[in-house]
Amino acid sequence: MTQPIPAPVLPTRGSRRPLGLGEVRITGGFWARRQQVNASATLDHCRQWMERVGWIDNFRVAASGGPLGERRRGREFSDSEVYKLLEAMVWEAARTPGSALDADVDELTDTVVAAQEGDGYLNTAFGHPGRPARYSDLEWGHELYCAGHLIQAGVAQLRTRGDGALAKAAIRAADHICHVFGPGGANPGLCGHAEIETALAELHRATGERRYLDQAALFLERRGHGSLAGGEFSPEYFQDDVPVRQAHTLRGHAVRALYLASGAVDVAVETGDGELLAAVVRQWEHATARRTYLTGGMGSHHRDEGFGEDFVLPPDRAYSETCASVASLMLSWRLLLATGDPRYADLAERTLYNVIAASPADDGRSFFYANTLHQRVRGTVPPHDSDRPRSESGLRAPWFAVSCCLPNVARTLAALGGYVATADDGGLQLHQYADAEITTRTAGGERLALRVRTGYPADGTVAVTVDEAPTGPWSLSLRVPGWAGDGARLVTPDGQRRPVRPGTAVVPGTLRTGDEVRLELPVTPRWVHPDPRVDAVRGTIALERGPVVYCVESADLPGGRDVDAVTVDPSVPPRDGEGDRVVVAGELTGARSGGWWPYAYDRPPAPAGERAELTLVPYLTWASRGPSTMRVWMPTAPGAAGERAAAPEG
């Protein structure tokens, strides 16, 4: 096996090498607070609930050899949530050495691995007395999907501890899958929910065993030929309508599509398959330009948790599943590593701040599953001891009958240091901004140490100090987000302050120990206009500050009004309010008078409005003060500047 490096994604080739958790330590600020809550509250919360609802006990019953039958608890994919929790615990143990988490990982691993069968098969929903036969429902059974999450947890252990019972169980499961589904195997099928592909590719990277990569490539080539029986859903739901290489966009079930695309990038990079990589780039470009919400969320359909057609992005019906945002981050990071293109880091940043950070409550013990952009009715406070339907998004809930998003967020936050920076033969690149200490080796083996200090995203200054520089030439690059426009400035050690455009700003010259570089980003509030082809938000406008999307919430409106009474005036520049608030000019109106019919044949006079200063809050904080109504896209007064949108591109 190769030397373990603690990083969630570790390609053996590509434009950039990711820095792992041993090289990047987030030390303070926005993301450090969320990592601390994740470690101190969310991990334990998830484990307690999994014990309570019987998902962990499924493994105990399976290991006993008795009939599971109706005794098994949870959906057919509940095993995967235990594996995601294990992965989160492994990453967190690596992030905080000396904690008791390694012992907790071993204890939970022993429970899980006791149910693994002699040939490596491990699943509590199939293959046991009283349960369906193995691989008897590839469309909906999620057996390979669950195995993929087991393998990813094992890869995390390989990269953090070098070995362990969890890693051994993952390798046995992968060997079983290669035997059954590989060339000449008994089963020529594939899983209805993509995930196994990227897991096998990462296991190849962690072990050097080629057969895992070949199996991932084989699963990719099998998809797109209509072999999965969709029932009420079309083959597009499974991405089984068109081969991966021929598809022009991300489509169908959003999480499935994004996991599949991530696996395709992994295979493309490891095999040098430029055609396959170009196909995924094409799909990402189309879906980002036409099928993605302002928050970075993906998926506008509730019924199939899927992508809608181009520009069908209704804010009040946004599904925007949290898991889809985790998968989007996975894909964006892989494309960044493969190509070096900073636009992938731009989408990753937007998704991190406005969906992934929005899902957990401040205490880390309740969550959003879906992430609407317009809440029309005030929800009810969910009981602290009950789960909720997964599509409910009015308030964060402590648990869901389908709780895939909770451990997905947990494993992402625990491993977040692995998504901050990269290196190549020429130097180091910063992609996400947080207080951090970075220590790595250059291509020549020399030590390089940096400190990053910033109040981002509230403050736009990012200061980078070189604590230890190599003797040879090297370069430092910093991402300038697309939203910065012409307002970003780079201050070099000699005091020169020069404008830098969105993309990548390379610090000129070779930095030495003690040098400091500052990137100054314009995090003042700004209006955002929708593409006029997005019918659902025509005539509205939104507000951003830095990478953070804002919203108006009924908790900030006088007289018990709801947000549908709000009209904003974009001709008046928004201004910073107290704390993280932004103040805008607008009106508050009452409901239109009318009878039993809500339509008029002649344009009725607008209801009388009351001029007001309106307070907007970061979208990621909404619903933190109790039941409320909320909207991101706000109507403008007729004829106001907000109705003028830029000409569509593409």
Q: Would you give the DSSP letter of residue 352?
A: I
- 246 belongs to a structural domain: yes
Q: Cα–Cα distance between 646 and 2 in angstroms, integer?
A: 51
Token pair of 89, please?
């615990």
Contact by Cβ (8 Å): 417, 25: yes
Which pLDDT score is estimated for 393? 61
- 126 belongs to a structural domain: yes
Contact by Cβ (8 Å): 435, 452: yes
Helices and strands in the chain: count of H runs, count of E runs: 14, 22
Token pair of 161, please?
């501890």
Which residues form the domain of 451?
421-520
**Nearest Cα residue to 108 out of 152, 69, 153:** 153
Write the CATH number for 315: 1.50.10
- Pairing of β 475-480 and β 503-506: antiparallel
Q: Cα–Cα distance between 231 and 239 in angstroms, integer?
A: 14
Q: Cα–Cα distance between 217 and 271 in angstroms, integer?
A: 9
Which pLDDT score is estimated for 593? 58
**Is 4's pLDDT higher than 70?**
no
What's CA 101's distance to the chain center, in Å? 24
**Is 592's pLDDT higher than 70?**
no
Q: Lay out the sheet containing 503-506: strands in order across.
A: 17-18, 421-424, 427-430, 475-480, 503-506
For residues 529 and 559, state if they share a domain.
yes
Q: Cα–Cα distance between 351 and 549 in angstroms, integer?
A: 10
Give the contacts of 471 (CB within 8 A, at least 6 positions apart).
446
For residues 349 and 287, state if they share a domain.
yes
For residues 317 and 256, state if they share a domain.
yes
- Pairing of β 609-618 and β 582-589: antiparallel
For residues 279 and 317, state if they share a domain.
yes
Which pLDDT score is estimated for 606? 63
Torsion angle, alpha carbons of 264, 266, 270, 271, to 10: 0
Mean pLDDT across the stretch 15-29? 96
Q: What are phi and psi of 373, to 5 degrees?
A: -105, 0
Average pLDDT of the chain to the nearest whole number: 93
**Is 646's pLDDT higher than 80?**
no
Percent of the chain with pLDDT over 70: 94
- 450 belongs to a structural domain: yes
**Is 386's pLDDT higher than 60?**
yes
Three-state secondary structure readout of 136-194: CCCCCCCHHHHHHHHHHHHHHHHHHCCCCHHHHHHHHHHHHHHHHHCCCCCCCCCCCCC
Residue 447: C-alpha distances to residues 11, 23, 471, 558 (Å): 22, 11, 9, 58
Q: Cα–Cα distance between 379 and 388 in angstroms, integer?
A: 12
Q: Would you give the DSSP letter of residue 118?
A: T
**For tokens 């069968």, what's the residue?**
117
Which pLDDT score is estimated for 647? 42
**Is 642's pLDDT higher than 60?**
no
Mean pLDDT across the stretch 210-225? 98
pLDDT digit string, tens, across residues 490-540 = 999 999 999 999 999 999 888 999 999 999 999 999 999 999 999 999 999
Q: Cα–Cα distance between 181 and 121 in angstroms, integer?
A: 13
Which pLDDT score is estimated for 591? 61
Write the CATH number for 455: 2.60.40
For residues 178 and 49, state if they share a domain.
yes
Domain end marker among 473, 499, 520? 520
For residues 48 and 72, state if they share a domain.
yes
- 3 belongs to a structural domain: no
Which pLDDT score is estimated for 443? 86
For residues 150 and 198, state if they share a domain.
yes
Domain end marker among 520, 535, 566? 520
Q: What's the domain count of the chain?
A: 3
**Is 640's pLDDT higher than 70?**
no
- 163 belongs to a structural domain: yes
One-letter amino acid identity for 37? Answer: V
For residues 486 and 622, state if they share a domain.
no
- 258 belongs to a structural domain: yes
**Is 1's pLDDT higher than 90?**
no
Which ranges of 272-342 would DSSP assign to H, the alpha helix? 274-290, 322-339
Sign, CA torsion 223/228/232/235: positive
pLDDT digit string, tens, across residues 23-75 = 999 999 999 999 999 999 999 999 999 999 999 999 999 999 888 888 899 99
For residues 441 and 538, state if they share a domain.
no
One-letter amino acid identity for 495? Answer: G
Q: Cα–Cα distance between 83 and 649 in angstroms, integer?
A: 43
Contact by Cβ (8 Å): 120, 127: no
Model confidence at 91, in pLDDT bands (50, 70, 90)? Answer: very high
* 591 or 364: which leads in pLDDT: 364
For residues 412 and 543, state if they share a domain.
no
Domain end marker among 396, 419, 442? 419
- 400 belongs to a structural domain: yes
**Is 308's pLDDT higher than 60?**
yes
Token pair of 44, please?
């334990």
- 404 belongs to a structural domain: yes
For residues 460 and 531, state if they share a domain.
no
For residues 450 and 358, state if they share a domain.
no
Which pLDDT score is estimated for 3? 54
Element (H, E) at 454: strand 447-454
Torsion angle, alpha carbons of 590, 594, 596, 602, to 10: -120
**Is 384's pLDDT higher than 90?**
no
Percent of the chain with pLDDT over 90: 86
pLDDT digit string, tens, across residues 552-587 = 999 999 888 899 999 999 999 999 999 999 999 999
